[in-house]
Each structure stands twice: as structure tokens, then as C-alpha cells.
Amino acid sequence: MCDIIWCKDCDTVNYLDPYYFWNWEGKIKCAGCENVYYVYMIQGHMYKGPDKKPGEKEDILPVYADKPNQGYEQILPGTEGKTRPYNCLPRHIYLGRADMVKFSARGRPVRGWRPQPPSTGVAGSCGFTWDIQKLSPEVWEEFQEKLKKGEVSDW
Amino acid sequence: MAQKIREVEINSREDTLPLMGPDVRPWPVTPPPSQEEVMAVYARRKAEEFGKWCEDNLRIDYAKDKPEALQGVRVLSCGLWRMGHKFAAGLLSELGAELINVEPPEGDPLRKLTPFGREEYMLEDKNGDKCGLDFIHELRNAYSVTINLETEKGRELYTKLAEHADILIEEYPPGYMDERGIGYRQLSQINPKLIYCWVGEHGQWGPMKDKVSKFGQWMLDPFGQAACSFIHNTGFPEDLLPRGKGGDPTRSGVWFADYVAGEQTAVNALAALFWRDEFSGEGQFIETTAAEALMDILDFDITWYGFNKSIKARTGGWDPNLNQYAWNPCKDGYMMIGGQTDRLWYRIGMCIERELPIFGRLIHEDPLLKEMAARNALQALTKTYTMTTMWLRNINRVEAEEKLMQYEIAAGPLLYIDEVAEFPHFKYRPWVNVLEDEQYGTLMYAESTNAYQMRTPARVKWLGRPLGYDNPEVFMKYLGIGQSELRELKEQGVV
Amino acid sequence: MKDQRVTRIEDLPGPKSQGELEEMKMPYEEWCRKVFAPGQEKTKPESLKGIRWLSTTMYIFTPHSVANLAELGAECIKVEMPRMGDPMRHTSPFNECYLYPLHDSRPMTGTGLGFTNANSNEYYITMDYHVDEMKEAFYRLVKLSDGLTECYRPGTFDRWKQSYRYLQELNPRFIYVWGGGFGYGPKVFGGSYDILGQAHAGLASVTGFHEDFGGHCTKHSNWCIDWYSGTQITVAILAALYWRRKTGLGTMIEFSQVQAATRALGYTVPLYGRFGIVRQRWGNWDTQLCVHGIILCGKSDYPDEPNPQLKYEARYAVVSAFNDADFKELCAIVGRNDLYDQYKTLQDRVKPEAQMVIYKALEDWAADKTRSEVVKTLTDAGLLAMPVMNDKEVYECEHFRQRGTIRWLDDPVFGDVLIQSGYSCGLMSKTPRRVNWIWRPVGADNVKIYHEMLGYPMSKIEQWYEKNLI
């Protein structure tokens, strides 16, 4: 195998992405156990390795690994001691799923959450209003609170 | 075909130059596909009749038989260094507008620029003056006149010329023209129908407006690219390549923000022309900047910040919104593959799995990759592209394209310019083309994008222009200045 | 009728009133602010008033050609597939940002931010137009419109009897645009995306760091080439409208997105054609100017921020000092006068070997400084430099706020959204662009268009809706 290291001891697949590792030599630790593998990759091919190097210190952790034989259990980026954090992210918290947003960055209501109550007419047509007070009274309430607390700004 | 063997001795790079060029190695090296071969392609989808109709009506070969959309529109273009005004004016002149490019007597400094300072890559006109290729390629169908705007007389000539113009595209530092009494404020008094466009990097007003250094050096692209977050968002993340070795924010290889500002200038100018002629008879003032025009097309990046304070990060050759939609390395370069809807995504997978069975085990069977939106998560991208590249590293671009085309996937090789010029579709249309220029000989150029139209296709008639070549004609025609007066003006340093 | 013997003040050049006189004397910047008047767009007319355009488009490239028209005041109608809508609606960065609802029948699905900016101000209807039953409605739309932009694979609309071959018979003034990857020719059926254009056309081959520096071919962020190509379609459309005013005739425009990226390559093409030189990547430096590039500074401007984009990435600056005097000053500032002695002319400096030495010296100098320190030192000395700004800094930038090119929009259906488009395509003093709404739910204007504009009875619309035709 190459480009992935399928560790037979813990049955974990470590993914070596095609850019960082396209030409790379060094030792990489399995995300599922303590095994350290030496690899020497040239043009994406495993020129040497993966060879187990027991007791040696790794140079790097994989960014992502999973266990296909155990229900595709994921070892997500940034799992401490297992995978390296993905540093170049838009925020310090990474979700990977829909972010339920009720208020914009300046604190005013925006329809970024689901489900939304039905509001359209014939054939899905709708007008040019969003009657938030009627459709989502709880968000309207929350907005009034925010206004009182001064959490709503112009920018 | 037997190749003729040539005796050559190469001791330096200079010795290699005569080995190339349109006379020694005409383009295209191999002939483009024939029309019959292409007809067979149309037939594959039962579109022979329509394909024939398209070729009969849209082929560039017939462009010269057709009228020009902007015939009668006169455009004045005046700027230095940058691409914005040249691209804007070029788009209009390709469509038939008459373009007069005004330069100072010493010429646009862009004429002097050449990659890595190599003068041997500049072209000589018939006067023996050398000109850089960027300038030649971007100045299209233009008349070149020289006017020294630092002189009273020069400003007077410029003003008179502007009386005759429909559109004026100017790219000087903020307020430069106004200070000299030849900005929109003044010219609109004389020619109220004038559509005056200013193009720049950040703007001619506002806290971050364009500056010149204390020694007079201008701001050029990538100042525009840097100001709108484009550079910050482009390039490989540190996680995919080490910082300092490619894992950095990256600028475009070309002065891209200038081009974007240029095309929006052309749009705004034409819309203003429509409004002038259809409704009001009035000209107006337009300002387009590289930073803002590029910001307009940065998808939703700033909007995203307003949504949940995300600051877009770099993702290299991948895309955080779509999977698959990336290029990844292969045996002889990079291969781009795209297809994110289930239908296309699994078709890509089928193509790969045929040769790499483990792809099916790790990708297709993974329940977390079954939903289209969930496939855009970072871990899903890492996994998908690692596995795809396991297949790609064994094959060349051509092979990959062939295999993926069997599954009707939008895929294509990442091409270098020599490959672009020889790519069958490119030379069939052709998208890179050659013309025999009066001054510079046979030139290869990127064909006008608007050249494929039924009634009024755009065309490239000539490229570049010797400095001040059209002074006599333009000054006589529009200002009534004859030869002897022109000679005097020249001696006074006005033209 | 004007009496030629009388000289009227309004016929003379120069200011006509006290107000105009003051305007002429105003400081230039103040005057610019006054004529462009950000925020006052709605008090001014629209340039393309009265133009009606159809958009049977998807993704970014072809929609953008219509969005430009819509921002300029044309009435644009976007036609989407029933219940599904444009595939771009299902696209969002890392699957995180959606605005709801997409459509009442799918309460858990939203429209992803990927759809943003490409279809502003338009009316949204749904139509499964390849069904015979809808043909009449489609033709009615064509008869009432000035033009259409479509993006289907070549031959598809022809098969459905709605290519230009058919439509020009219905409406000879009709301007028809096909936009796609390739157009007529051997790869006519090849699909295309922004990234394919970047790759195919040679743009990627010159962007990014060279292999020798450890780099790979680099994608322009976002779907730049899609957007950029779409704008060039708008140029073609406006030129066709200009010509139609004279002749009354429409036309067909075939536009290939892949080609548009080649058009931006500048000297790359003639350099190859004449000398056989294949241009390569040159990273963050410039092939024709030096110093004119981006350098890495040692320290972050925001070491304590949790967001990695601030904490780790806010470290890059553009430095530009390619003229002799500027370069000399720069060398003095970084304490390397020897570099100026060595590379006195631009021609010396711009050589690859010289660039490597010079940028290395700059980065060494910046190694113990933050980006802002670097920029401040250089700009205080009268040189040109600026930080590589990120989205937060762009949002907070006073410049764009004052110019109105980034602003908040109280969208009628979706609420509070930040917009970066439309107003930023250029300021126009008399007929400015505008953004009225970012988008609307799938089929939001079915009644407005089918009933009010095309005159179909409500019962018919309900019937179509039940049959999933709209």
C-alpha cells in the first residue's frame, strides 16, 4: 500500500494526502496505535516503506484516519496524539455540518437555521417579506433581548 | 514524415533563439482535427444538423465577412503600467470601437518590461524600437498617439481629442488629471456626452486610495489582489505544504485583478453608453478598481464572514464547497476531475475502482461519504483525494482524460502553454491564433473571447503599435494639426 | 428652436450656476464622494431600464453574465428545475452555511452560500421546459424578452426546439447566448467548471510556486475564472444591444469559458509563439519587476486570537520598490546597501538569481517583525507596501465601508446579509449598480411571472405545480 498506510495491528487506515507527501521522506505515526512507520515517497509512490520503526520518534502525524472494518470509525483532524490538527481553518472551531445561525455577525436576524415554517403561496411563490414576528416568534423575542442588551450594531 | 536533420551548435541560450519562431516551427505543429472528424463527434449525440448550423454561423473564419457591433464608437485610452485600461479598451476595440491610446512621449513603461529583464524576448518594430510582449499582446487594434500632459499645449490637445470621444478610459493616480484641469469635472463641461472611466487599484478617494511612492512609483497589481483577500485565500495551506515552500498565500501568476477591473470597466462603459443613447444623452463618471472588482467575484467570502465570522482559508488545488472538484498530481503533471452530484461522483468512482479496487472499499462503501453535502467536510476531501491520487499517480494526463471521458466526466489535464497551443480543441477553433502583424511579424496571441458570434463577432486586427505611430493621422483628422505644426510640437516636447 | 444669434450661458463651457461653480472648486476627493454618493443609488436611474433577460443557467459562469445585467437594472428571470433549483444552491463551504428555506416542500434543505452574488435581483420561476406541455409558456417568455443566456450541453436546447435556430423565428430581436466550456469543435460535449478552465487554459501553469521551490500549480481561489468569463459575456451582450438599436436584429453569441482564462495570460502566448519559451510559475514574485512581491514576516499581528487565520496567517506583506530610487531606499531601510550597489538597474534586479537574493534579504529583515511593523516602516519612509488582507480585515476596512462596496443588506426574504458584490463592480455617477435582494426561494415568482406577466389562469398554475412541471 502507499498513499495510505493500513496498519494491520490496529486495523486503521492512515491517509497521506497527495500534496504534503508527494515527495517526502520521514517517519509517521499511526493514528490508531503507537506504531511508527518510515516512508520514502517519490512522485506519490512508496519508494521505501512503510517500515515499522519500533521505539523511534515520529516526524509527523496523519491529518485523517479511519477504521473501515469497525464501522468506518473516524479519527478526525486534530485528535490529540493521533492526528495532526488542520491549522488552516476559517475558524478555530471546525464543524463540517450546517451551522444553525439565527443572527448575523452584527446581531440581526438571518434565516440560517432549519426547519423554517412554511410561508409560501401557490406553486411555491412568495412575496418580499419575512414576517419574523409571526413565523419565528422565539427568534423575534431573542432579538428584542439582544437589542436591549446592546448586542446589535451597525457593523 | 521524415524529419530534416539540422546542424546546430549550442553554446549559450542565445544560440537557441533562432531555432524557434514561426518561420522555423510554424504553428500548429500538427494540423488541427478536420471538419469531418468533428462532424463525427456531433453525430455521436445526434447533433450533426445543429453542429453544422453552429459551424456555419459561428465559425471565426467567417468573422471578417460580418459587421462590427461597436462601429462608430470612439474610445480614448490613457494610462501607464497597468492592464486595466488596456484590457477594457481592448474588449471594446475588438468589438469594433475605434481606439486611440494616448501615451507620454517617452511611452508607457510597460513597453519596456520583459520577463526577467531579457531584452532578447522583446520585439523590434520597423523603426528599430523594442517593445515588451505584455504590451504588444494587450494593446489591441489601437492607434498610438503621444501627448505630453505636463505641458499646457499637450493638455489643450488632449482636451480637444476628448471632445471627439464617446468613452474615455483613464488610469493615472487619483486626481492627477483633475489637478491638470483635464479630469471628468472639466472635460464633461466641454463634452457632456463623454463617458469617463477611471481605473485603479484601490480607488481615487477613500482612506486607502491609490498612492504613489515619494519617488513617484505607482501601485500596481498585486496591490489590488492583496486588498480584497484574494491572495490570503489563494494557495496551499500549511497543512498540505510547508510554509515558505509553497504553503503560503499566493498571488495570481498574472495581473489578474487588473483584468477583472478592465472587463467590468467595459461593462459599465457600455451600460452607460446604452443609457446615454437610449434615454438621456448624457455621459457620466465611472470608477472601477482592481481590489473591488476582484472582491465582487470572490464568491461569498466576505458574506461568509458576516454569517458566522469565518475567515476563508486556503485549500490549494481543492475546493471546500465541492467534492470532487480539484486537481491532483498524476504521473506527468496534474489532472483536474470534477463531479459532485451523486450521479457524477459515483461515475468517477466507478472509473477509478475498475483499476483500483480498494477505492470502492474505502470510498464507495463509506457511509459517511454517501451524502453529497457531507462530502465537502475536510476529512472527506482528504480521504477522497488521497485515494483518487493513488489511481492518478500511475497514469498520464492523456490516459486519465481518456478513461474519464468514457464516463462523461468533466475532466481535463492541467496544461502548459505549449500544450495549450497544440490541444486539438484549442487549435480547431482556434483559441490561440496567429496573425501577421505589419510591424512585429507573425505573432501568436490569445484570441478574442467574443469572436464566436452569429452577426457581430469580435476580431483582432493588429497587436501593439509603435509609439506615436498614428500621431500624423489622428492630429490631422481630429485636431487639424498638419505636418509642420506637428514637427514644432515635437520639438517642444509636446508630442 | 434656438436663436443662433443669442449666446446662452448653458451653451458655454464651464459652470452654469453658483452650485456648479462650487462643485468645480471642491477638493477632488470630496467631489468624487459627492458624485458617486454611496447609499443614494436608489435616487438615480438604472442604465438598463426596460431590458428583460432570461437566465436558464446553472453554477456561476453563465449566471454571472445575467447578474451583471440585473445589477445594472435589467429585469431578469431565472428559470430553474422544479423543487431542485440550481445545483449551486446545494453548495456551501465545508457544508456549513445555508439560508432557509430552499422551497416549502423541503423544510430541511437550504440554499448554500455558494449561490451568493451570482443571481442577485432576479425573479425566480421553475419550469421543466423540455416537457411539451411547457413549450408554449417558454415561447411566450421568449416573445416578451430581449434575450436569454443558457448553459446546457450543445444540442440540448436544439433537441428541445428552443435553440436560436427556433427562437430567432419567434423573435428576430432576440439575443441568444450560449455559455459553456468549449463550444463547437472536437471537445464540444466536454463539460467544464471554473477549475477546469484554470487548468486547461494554462493559467494554473503560471500560478503558484515553482517546483524547485517546493510548490505546485495553484488554483486561483474561488471560482474566479467562472465569474471573470461571465463578465466578458456581459460585454458581448451589451455590444449586441448597442448594435440592435441600430439594426433591430438579434444575434447568437457562443462563449467558451476555458478560452477566457487563456486571454488573461499576457506575454505567455506570444513568448511561446515567437521563441518557444514555456512560461513557468514564479510564486509570489514578479517576472517583470523587482522588488514587487509578497514576503513572509516573522510575527503574527494577532498572536492571541483563537482563529488560525489571524493567529498564524496574518504575516504576509506586499512590498513594491522596483524603480531605482525606491529600491535604493528599501535597501537602506533593511540595512543592505550592498544590494543596491550590486543591482543598480531594474534589469539587474529582475534576474531570477538576483530576485532570490533580494527577497531572501527582505524576509531575513522581516523575520523578527510583525506584518504591520514591516508595512509601517516602509510606508513611513514613503515606499509602497501593504498587508495581505484577510476577510475580517476587508470587512473592517473603512475604505470599503465609505465607498459602499461592502455593506449590509436587509434582504426581504432572508434577513440580514453582508454583501460584497454589485456595488463593488464599479461606481457610476448617474446610473449606479444596485443590489435589491441576494436571491429568492425556488419558484418564488411563479405566480408573478406565469399569471401576471404571461396571463395563465391560477388553476393552470396549480395544475402544473401538482404535475411537477413548475
Find, among C274, C263, C226, the residue nearest to B460 by Cα: C263
CA gap A86, A63 in Å, rounded: 7
Residues C336 and C419 occupy one common structural domain:
no
Q: Say which residues have a Cβ less than 8 Å from residue C209's Cβ, sequence separation at least 6.
A: B245, B246, B248, B250, C215, C216, C218, C281, C283, C284
Residues C231 and C104 occupy one common structural domain:
yes
CA pseudo-torsion sign A141, A145, A148, A151: negative
Residue C461 has pLDDT above 80, yes or no: yes
Per-residue pLDDT averaged across A80-109, rounded? 90
- Look at chain A and count its residues: 155
For residue B331, which residues of chain A lie inside 8 Å, CB to CB?
43
Task: Indicate the residue of B315, B317, B389 with minimum beta-carbon distance to A3.
Answer: B389
- Cell, residue B426: 484549442
Per-residue pLDDT averaged across B294-305, rounded? 95
Name the pLDDT band for C10 (thresholds 50, 70, 90).
Answer: low
Indicate yes or no: CB of C403 within 8 angstroms of CB of B206.
yes
Residue B355 has a pLDDT of 94
**Partner chains of C (3+ C-beta pairs under 8 Å):** A, B
CA gap C144, C28 in Å, rounded: 45
Q: Closest Cα of chain B to A155: distance in Å?
A: 9
> How many Cα atoms within 13 Å fall on the side-chain side of residue B125?
18
Q: Which helix (H) or strand (E) holds C69?
A: helix C61-71
Name the pLDDT band for B233 (thresholds 50, 70, 90).
Answer: very high
The ipTM is 0.95
Residue B10 has a pLDDT of 85
Indicate yes or no: CB of A101 within 8 angstroms of CB of B307.
yes
Give ∠ CA B347-B349-B355 in degrees, rounded to 5.
Answer: 115
Q: Which of B236-245, B291-300, B461-470 has the lowest mean pLDDT?
A: B236-245
Residue B338 has pLDDT above 60, yes or no: yes
Find, among C193, C67, C167, C183, the residue nearest to C123 by Cα: C67
Per-residue pLDDT averaged across B173-196, rounded? 96
Per-residue pLDDT averaged across B137-154, rounded? 97
- Mutation for testing the B interface, residue in A3, A11, A19, A63 having most B CBs under 10 Å: A19
Residues C117 and C149 occupy one common structural domain:
yes
For residue A152, which residues of chain B lie inside 8 Å, CB to CB?
none
Find, among B150, B144, B80, the residue nearest to B112 by Cα: B80
CA pseudo-torsion sign C200, C201, C207, C209: positive
Residues C381 and C423 occupy one common structural domain:
no
pLDDT in tens, C431-457: 999 999 999 999 999 999 999 999 999
Indicate yes or no: CB of A122 within 8 angstroms of CB of C447.
yes
Task: Indicate the residue of B238, B311, B374 with minimum beta-carbon distance to A90.
Answer: B311
Indicate yes or no: CB of C414 within 8 angstroms of CB of A129.
no
Pick the last residue of a domain from C339, C364, C396: C396
Per-residue pLDDT averaged across C38-63, rounded? 96
> Does C413 touch chain A if contact means CB atoms closer than 8 Å?
yes
Of C47 and B17, the structure prediction assigns the larger pLDDT to C47
Which residues 115-154 of chain A have a CB within 8 Å of chain B? none
Name the pLDDT band for C233 (thresholds 50, 70, 90).
Answer: very high
Average pLDDT of chain C is: 94
For residue B412, which residues of chain C lie inside 8 Å, CB to CB?
190, 192, 196, 199-200
Q: Say which residues have a Cβ less than 8 Å from residue A47's Cβ, sequence separation at least 6.
A: A40, A41
CA gap C64, B84 in Å, rounded: 20
Per-residue pLDDT averaged across B392-421, rounded? 92
Find, among B444, B44, B29, the residue nearest to C187 by Cα: B44
- Chain B residue with minimum CA distance to A78: B379
Q: Which helix (H) or strand (E) holds B290?
A: helix B290-296
- E strand intervals along B97-164: 98-103, 123-124, 130-131, 142-146
Residue C13 has a pLDDT of 65
> Does B217 touch chain C if contact means CB atoms closer than 8 Å?
yes
For residue C217, which residues of chain B lie inside 8 Å, CB to CB?
317, 327, 334, 414
Q: Closest Cα of chain A to C445: distance in Å?
A: 5
For residue C465, which residues of chain A lie inside 8 Å, CB to CB?
122-124
Residues C215 and C342 occupy one common structural domain:
no
CA gap A103, A110 in Å, rounded: 5
| Residue entry with cell 443590489 | C435
Residue C426: domain span: 52-263+414-466
Pairing label, strands B195-200, B285-289:
parallel
Q: What is the CATH number of the domain that holds C244?
A: 3.40.50.10540
pLDDT in tens, C92-144: 888 889 999 998 888 889 999 999 999 999 999 999 988 999 999 999 999 99
Residue C316 placed within a domain:
yes
Q: What is the CATH number of the domain that holds C324?
A: 3.30.1540.10
- Chain A residue with minimum CA distance to C313: A88
> Does C458 touch chain A if contact means CB atoms closer than 8 Å?
yes
Residues C257 and C363 occupy one common structural domain:
no
Residue C418 placed within a domain:
yes
- Mutation for testing the B interface, residue in C95, C212, C302, C355 having most B CBs under 10 Å: C95
Indicate yes or no: CB of C465 within 8 angstroms of CB of A124.
yes
Domain ranges of chain A: 4-75, 101-149
Residues C354 and C391 occupy one common structural domain:
yes
Residue C155 has a pLDDT of 92
**Partner chains of B (3+ C-beta pairs under 8 Å):** A, C
User: Are B264 and B347 contacting, i.e. CB atoms less than 8 angstroms apart?
Assistant: no
Terminal Cα-to-Cα distance of chain C (whole angstroms): 56
Within 10 A of C353 (CB to CB), how many other CB atoms are there?
8
Q: Which helix (H) or strand (E) holds C124?
A: strand C123-126
Residues C213 and C154 occupy one common structural domain:
yes
CA gap C225, C237 in Å, rounded: 18
Q: Say which residues have a Cβ less than 8 Å from residue C177's Cβ, sequence separation at least 6.
A: C62, C65, C147, C148, C149, C150, C233, C236, C237, C252, C253, C254, C255
- Chain B residue with minimum CA distance to A44: B393
CA gap C54, C354 in Å, rounded: 54
Residues C104 and C181 occupy one common structural domain:
yes
- Chain B residue with minimum CA distance to A100: B308
Residues C300 and C391 occupy one common structural domain:
yes
Pick the last residue of a domain from C343, C365, C396: C396
> Does C356 touch chain B if contact means CB atoms closer than 8 Å?
no
Residues C319 and C460 occupy one common structural domain:
no
- Cell, residue A114: 432549519
Within 10 A of B435 (CB to CB), how many other CB atoms are there?
17
Burial of C461 (0-12, 13-18, 19+ CB in 10 A): buried
Residue A1 has pLDDT above 60, yes or no: no
pLDDT in tens, C175-210: 999 999 999 999 998 888 889 999 999 999 999 999
Residue C5 has pLDDT above 90, yes or no: no
pLDDT in tens, C139-174: 999 999 999 999 999 999 999 999 999 999 999 999
* Domain architecture of chain B: domains with CATH: 74-296+465-491 (3.40.50.10540), 325-415 (3.30.1540.10)
Indicate yes or no: CB of B453 within 8 angstroms of CB of C236.
yes
Residue C22 has pLDDT above 90, yes or no: no
CA gap B235, C408 in Å, rounded: 29
Residue B351 has a pLDDT of 95
pLDDT in tens, C298-335: 999 999 999 999 999 999 999 999 999 999 999 999 99
For residue B396, which residues of chain A lie inside 8 Å, CB to CB?
none
Residue B113 has a pLDDT of 97
Residues C74 and C188 occupy one common structural domain:
yes
Q: Hey, what amino acid is at A54?
A: P
DSSP secondary structure code for residue B171 in this structure: E
Q: Say which residues have a Cβ less than 8 Å from residue C27's Cβ, sequence separation at least 6.
A: none
Q: Identify the contact set of chain A against chain C, taking CB-CB distances under 8 A.
A: 19, 22, 87-92, 94-99, 101, 103-106, 108-116, 118-130, 132, 154-155
pLDDT in tens, B64-78: 999 999 999 999 999
User: pTM higher than 0.90, yes or no?
Assistant: yes
Number of domains in chain C: 2
Indicate yes or no: CB of B91 within 8 angstroms of CB of C232.
yes
Residue B366 has a pLDDT of 92
For chain B, give the percent of residues with pLDDT over 90.
Answer: 86
